[in-house]
Amino acid sequence: MRNEVHDISAVPAVLLFQKARTILCLCACCGEIVRLSDLKLRCEGVTPETWLGKYERSVSLIRMIHSVS
């Protein structure tokens, strides 16, 4: 088995999703075996702010300003 590093940005989304269907996980809550692609991840508490959250707030603010004008 070779150890290779791959650039994930070069992997098409469809291929990534197909591969995620082949990876099985054990649910920490119920102990059931599930596919990675079927997981519904959740986080308790406040999550750290991301660039996407900042961007979405900026877009909302700009739209609100333009709709008032």
Q: What confidence tens digit (pLDDT) does each residue in 27-56 have?
A: 888 899 999 888 887 778 888 899 999 999
CA end-to-end distance (rounded Å), the chain:
62
- Distance CA(55)–CA(68), nearest Å, equals 20
| Average pLDDT of the residues in 9-24 | 81
- Distance CA(60)–CA(21), nearest Å, equals 35
Full-model pTM: 0.41
- Indicate if the pLDDT at residue 6 is higher than 80: no
Contact 20, 36 (CB under 8 A): yes
Which residues lie below 8 Å from residue 22, measured CB to CB, with a gap of 6+?
Answer: 35
